[in-house]
Amino acid sequence: MESSRTRREVTRQKLYEAAVTLIAEQGFSSTTVDEIAERAGVAKGTVYYNFKSKTELFEELLRHGVGLLTASLQAAADETAERGGTKVEALDAMIRAGLGFIDRYPAFTQLYVAELWRTNRAWQSTLLVVRQEAVAVVETVLRDGVTNGELSKEIDIPLTAAALVGMVLVAALDWQAFQRERTIDDVHSALSLLLRGRVSGH
Amino acid sequence: MESSRTRREVTRQKLYEAAVTLIAEQGFSSTTVDEIAERAGVAKGTVYYNFKSKTELFEELLRHGVGLLTASLQAAADETAERGGTKVEALDAMIRAGLGFIDRYPAFTQLYVAELWRTNRAWQSTLLVVRQEAVAVVETVLRDGVTNGELSKEIDIPLTAAALVGMVLVAALDWQAFQRERTIDDVHSALSLLLRGRVSGH
DNA sequence: CTTTTTGAACTGACCAGTCAGTGCAAAAAT
DNA sequence: ATTTTTGCACTGACTGGTCAGTTCAAAAAG
């Protein structure tokens, strides 16, 4: 049972990995279950032994991926706080963590962005929950920064959080897709400059 | 002849409008040609009379939409220049124009973002061209700002342009999807603050 | 002995694209 | 003035193929 959970775990992981790249490339509907099974090196029957349906496989994939992202953002924020860093430093660390995540799981990010704002989809409610968890991490840091006077009281927390997340997401996807020659540090510096307001002026 | 060209034009426009919302909601593959035809109030054959294929309809839709966006960004930049405004003001005006566009065509924006970073798709090359046109407008303003000393020489133009576009896109889509009660001015102020570096400090 | 996986065959719904035919308005012929 | 022709725009039933999901007996893993 202990060992069987492991075997099952391994198969599920292989299926996640196969599904995430295929769906990122082609979208959910034009990715077939046969393709996923083949890429994972597993029989089609196994997919249905492990997941109720193609949709359920996808929903669990979303939960799994956003869980990793949220944990990584939270860890970056916590480390900065422990070191006694400022909130801007925490945001900076979170940008870096976000970039690291996207670098490690570009397909997942792509797929997440592609699905996030769609309405009328089976997994809409799953996405809503999962998005809220991720955005909440950023919002909390912003709120703390305003409370302790480090950040301007004028900022609109939910909108600024969304804008920051968007800035990182889009810059990173663009980097992956169109500007491969850049290093993660290049991207991080560009975003850091924007965050710290050093674009205009000097 | 005059009237027949108009009739075709009207039908195509109806098909664009039907396709854009359906594809934004459901994605390209799970939107059927029958649905598009029904929503447009025409027969399925009419779709194929007007477009070679479902894919071609979609590609022309992309060209059409991004054309509108690019024109609107360019107009904002030009107006600011004519008034003798600064480059930061021009960027600010472009943010506003971008938000206006997204407000007017939310479905199009959604669909554009969902498709932009997908690889291995039939319309990849169309998207590449069309994206470049839009980003180039922002890059030009940034470049001019650096040249005339108004913007920091340290900024990385392509990455900063991508980040700015991303900030606007994601904040606006989030506004449309999750924060409907906000006005366009709220969103604009939040983004303007970020652009002008007034988030940290005062 | 139980859990998990295999693989192949099958079903039934669904869908992109086709095509023979309709309607109609303007041009040409009478 | 009336009839005939032309061709554009559109129609919708039909086809050939695809794919999610099922079934199951047998094998492998533990």
Give the model confidence (pLDDT) of B51-79 as tens digits: 999 999 999 999 999 999 999 999 999 99
**B151 pairs with which residues across the strands?**
A200
Structure tokens at B14: 């109806």
Structure tokens at B190: 């939040």
* Closest alpha carbon to C1' of C7, residue: A43
Per-residue confidence (pLDDT) for residue A120, from 0 to 100: 73
Which residues in chain A land under pLDDT 70? 1-5, 198-202
- Region B18-44: what's the mean pLDDT? 95
Per-residue confidence (pLDDT) for residue B108, from 0 to 100: 96
- Region B156-182: what's the mean pLDDT? 92
Cα–Cα distances in angstroms (integers) from residue B171 to residues A10, A61, A133, B66, in the given order: 38, 25, 17, 19
Q: Across the interface, which of A29, A119, A169 has its CB nearest the CB of B170?
A: A169
Q: How sure is the predictor about B7, in pLDDT bands with cuts at 50, 70 and 90?
A: confident
Per-residue confidence (pLDDT) for residue A5, from 0 to 100: 62
C1' (D28) to CA (A51) span, angstroms: 21
Per-residue confidence (pLDDT) for residue B3, from 0 to 100: 41
Q: How sure is the predictor about B1, in pLDDT bands with cuts at 50, 70 and 90?
A: very low
Task: Quick: pLDDT tens for B74-119.
Answer: 999 999 999 999 999 999 999 999 999 999 999 999 999 998 888 8
C1' (D2) to CA (B2) span, angstroms: 26
Task: Look at A167 and B169 and tell me if their CB atoms are within 8 Å.
Answer: no
A vs B: CB pairs below 8 A: 193
Contacts of A133 in chain B (CB under 8 A): none
Q: Quote the CA–CA distance of B58 and B64 in Å, as a whole number.
A: 10
- Beta-carbon contacts of A171 under 8 Å, excluding residues fewer than 6 positions away, are A187, A190, A191, B159, B162, B163, B166
- Residue A144: CB atoms within 10 A of its CB come to 15
Q: Nearest Cα to B141, choosing from B92, B85, B193, B90?
A: B90
Predicted confidence (pLDDT) at residue B201 exceeds the cutoff of 60: no
Q: Quote the CA–CA distance of B20 and B24 in Å, as a whole number.
A: 6
Answer for the pair B98, B70: CB distance below 8 angstroms, yes or no: no
Structure tokens at A155: 């900022």
Answer for the pair A180, B147: CB distance below 8 angstroms, yes or no: no
Q: Nearest Cα to A88, choosing from A131, A148, A132?
A: A148
| B39 Cα distance to chain centroid | 23
Q: Quote the CA–CA distance of B41 and B53 in Å, as a whole number.
A: 18
The answer to whether residue B150 neighbours chain A at the CB level (below 8 Å) is: yes
Tokens 């590449």 correspond to what residue?
A: B128
Q: How far is B11 from chain A (nearest CA, A)?
A: 26
Per-residue confidence (pLDDT) for residue A1, from 0 to 100: 39
Per-residue confidence (pLDDT) for residue A200, from 0 to 100: 67
C1' (D4) to CA (B38) span, angstroms: 36
Per-residue confidence (pLDDT) for residue B5, from 0 to 100: 54
Per-residue confidence (pLDDT) for residue A2, from 0 to 100: 39
